[in-house]
Amino acid sequence: MIKSLDMQDIARHAVCPPGQHHLFREKLDEHGFVVLQPGEAGDPALDLDAVMAQLGEPVAYGFGTKLALQPQEGSGNLQFTTRAMPLHTDGLFNAGPQVRYIGMRCVAAPLTGGQTLIASNAAFFAHAPADLLEILRGVTIEYRNRIPGYYRDHPEAGHPQVAPIQDDPVTGTTRLVIGLTDPDDPTRTHDATVVGHTAKESTALLGRIRAVLHQPRVLYAHTWRPGQVIVQDNRQVVHGRAAFPGQPRKLVRLSVA
């Protein structure tokens, strides 16, 4: 079977209805993410810990392993606001094992906005202009963490410099490793600059990456329903979120290596 490179098509196949949850690993590996639908009212809730335990060992952050993602009054950390989270790969700053799978369970969903955004690396490579890919193969991006105490800092405390296109030794495929950021957001988790580029050139290049990642054939926006679980393969997709001003939203996240 030829793998689809259209994210809307991929997203349709990534849904795992109740009764098919035993297929979730297969779908996850094939599509880069999977949406586990909860059963009927009265059925036992999907157990995020049990799902993720099948995939690896929990990754520890500065706060521990499990995180309640919900707005916190006055937070200076974008994660805990209602703002949009730009697309990124997890694990750029965190010392310790690389995040392989990210699991999230929805406790409360906003009525509008707050979608989890998932972009396929394979679709990005298929649809990005050739000159952009060539430029990306020749650069590294420096990331500066702005949120102390959230990640586990590397002992050498340097700023990670990361190639945006990498050959993945685990999957044998080419991988996009990126941390987009909004320089105008005072709660942003980090800054990103292309090494050797001026600020203006950096912004332009990161903007071109963003534009491709946000094409509908590359990006899927998932509207949450309480009880759903999404598992993403951090090596096959990048993720972010849409803003949800003035609304509640709570996801519980557990990532494994």
Site residues (vs Fe ion, CB under 5 A): 90
Shortest distance (Å) from residue 181 CB to Fe ion: 12
Q: Which of residues 90 and 233 has its CB atom nearest to Fe ion in the complex?
A: 90
Which structure tokens are listed for 163?
A: 């190639």
Shortest distance (Å) from residue 199 CB to Fe ion: 24
Apex CA 169: angle with CA 66 and CA 157, to 5°? 55
Shortest distance (Å) from residue 88 CB to Fe ion: 6
Q: Which of residues 154 and 197 has its CB atom nearest to Fe ion in the complex?
A: 154
Q: Which of residues 136 and 178 has its CB atom nearest to Fe ion in the complex?
A: 178
| Residue type at position 210 | R
Q: Which of residues 39 and 70 has its CB atom nearest to Fe ion in the complex?
A: 70
Residue count of the chain, please give it.
Answer: 257
Strand segments (E) across the chain: 15-16, 33-36, 66-69, 85-88, 101-108, 116-120, 141-145, 161-162, 165-167, 174-176, 190-194, 219-222, 229-233, 237-241, 250-256
DSSP character for 146?
-
Q: Which residue is nearest to Fe ion (CB)?
A: 90
Which structure tokens are listed for 222?
A: 């998932």
Q: Which of residues 116 and 193 has its CB atom nearest to Fe ion in the complex?
A: 116
Asked if residues 253 and 69 have their Cβ atoms less than 8 Å apart, the reply is yes
Shortest distance (Å) from residue 239 CB to Fe ion: 6
Q: Which of residues 24 and 150 has its CB atom nearest to Fe ion in the complex?
A: 150
H/E element holding 234? none
Shortest distance (Å) from residue 92 CB to Fe ion: 9
Shortest distance (Å) from residue 103 CB to Fe ion: 12
Shortest distance (Å) from residue 234 CB to Fe ion: 8
Count other C-beta atoms under 10 Å from residue 1's C-beta: 4
Dihedral angle, C-alpha 27, 29, 30, 31, nearest 10 °: 80
Distance CA 177, CA 110 (A): 29
Q: Which of residues 38 and 240 has its CB atom nearest to Fe ion in the complex?
A: 240
Which structure tokens are listed for 79?
A: 């994660």
